[in-house]
């Protein structure tokens, strides 16, 4: 049976493509929100502001570069670390904030790019853990929004939570649907390959059976043809004996000493004109007698 060597090829290609697309999208997100992130740096500890921004920007780019050659297991591990550490960055935002609020009561820049780690998790995890991450990350965004500036009130924080939940849910659904489509394509390809293998095996068995039947049929016909002959030999020795006896019959006719029925020399010595004429047309082996 043919081994299913190509099983999962569509899922692998789609997964790598999504990681690469995620890297491109994260670069766009980082470029758009660069000015806002820099404006909020004075409100945070300097080391945390720079390290969190570099981590959040570089991790997806590294993931996209690894998607070109690294094993999928490595990509999933890197994406999982990135998604979990991003939650840590969101949770430690408020304790490491050095001002009572952010400039212009804006939301933390982490809330603006949280879709990127959510998609990374959606590519790497199963459906149920992914949806759990979506809910937890949305709740964290609301907590960070309220903790960064309590003056905004809990209603605005709840609205931010709902917005982030809906946005992440849409992108997560698209990601999971894409993965599911690739998996169904792999299943269909594996089923088609298995069916093709079974059909090939069945055709090979039928062809082999036809060959065997043809050989048996030829053997039976040969045996019947030989058996239908009157002088069909029963053994090779019998064949040789009968051929030798047939070759000796012409010699016995002209040599009385070799013939089983001895004839007089006068009869053999006198040849009629008709026999003399026939002797001219005898075969070479008869003339030799």
Helix ranges (H only) for 4-152 are: 9-32, 34-40, 46-66, 72-91, 109-112, 115-124, 127-148
Are 131 and 263 contained in the same domain? no
Are 35 and 164 contained in the same domain? yes
Are 35 and 138 contained in the same domain? yes
pLDDT at position 195 is 78
Domain range for residue 273? 247-287
Are 184 and 73 contained in the same domain? yes
Give the number of domains in the chain.
2
Are 267 and 182 contained in the same domain? no
Are 149 and 48 contained in the same domain? yes
Decide if 60 is inside a domain: yes
* pLDDT confidence band for 255 (50 / 70 / 90): low
Decide if 198 is inside a domain: no
Predicted model pTM: 0.66
> How would you label 175-206 residue by residue, b for 16+ Cβ within 10 Å and e otherwise?
bbebbeebeeebeebeeebeeeeeeeeeeeee
pLDDT digits (tens, 9 = 90+) for 113-166: 999 999 999 999 999 999 999 999 999 999 998 888 888 888 888 998 999 999
Decide if 1 is inside a domain: no
Long-range contacts of range 41-45, CB-CB < 8 Å, 24 or more positions apart?
42/99, 43/97, 43/98, 43/99, 43/101, 43/102, 43/103, 44/93, 44/96, 44/97, 44/98, 45/96, 45/98
Are 183 and 258 contained in the same domain? no
Decide if 128 is inside a domain: yes
Does residue 29 register a pLDDT over 90? no
Decide if 239 is inside a domain: no
């Amino acid at each position: 049976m043919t081994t299913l060597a190509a099983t999962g090829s569509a899922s692998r290609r789609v997964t790598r493509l999504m990681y690469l697309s995620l890297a491109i999208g994260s670069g766009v997100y980082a470029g758009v929100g660069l000015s806002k992130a820099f404006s909020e740096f004075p409100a945070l500890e300097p080391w945390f502001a720079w390290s969190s921004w570099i981590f959040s920007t570089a991790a997806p780019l590294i993931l996209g570069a690894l998607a070109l050659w690294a094993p999928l297991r490595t990509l999933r591990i890197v994406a999982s670390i990135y998604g979990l550490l991003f939650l840590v960055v969101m949770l430690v935002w408020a304790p490491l904030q050095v001002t009572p609020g952010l400039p212009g009561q804006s939301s933390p820049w982490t809330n603006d790019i949280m879709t990127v780690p959510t998609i990374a998790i959606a590519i790497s995890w199963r459906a149920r853990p992914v949806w759990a991450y979506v809910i937890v990350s949305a709740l964290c965004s609301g907590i960070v929004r309220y903790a960064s500036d309590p003056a905004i009130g809990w209603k605005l924080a709840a609205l931010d939570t709902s917005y982030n939940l809906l946005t992440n849910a849409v992108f997560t659904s698209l990601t999971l649907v894409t993965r599911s489509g690739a998996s169904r394509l792999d299943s269909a390809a594996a089923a088609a390959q298995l069916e093709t293998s079974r059909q090939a095996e069945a055709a090979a068995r039928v062809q082999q059976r036809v060959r065997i039947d043809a050989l048996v049929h030829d053997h039976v016909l040969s045996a019947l043809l030989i058996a239908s002959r009157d002088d069909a030999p029963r053994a090779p020795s019998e064949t040789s004996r009968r051929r030798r006896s047939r070759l000796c019959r012409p010699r016995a006719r002209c040599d009385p000493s070799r013939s089983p029925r001895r004839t007089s020399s006068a009869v053999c010595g006198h040849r009629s004109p008709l026999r003399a004429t026939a002797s001219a047309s005898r075969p070479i082996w008869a003339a030799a007698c």
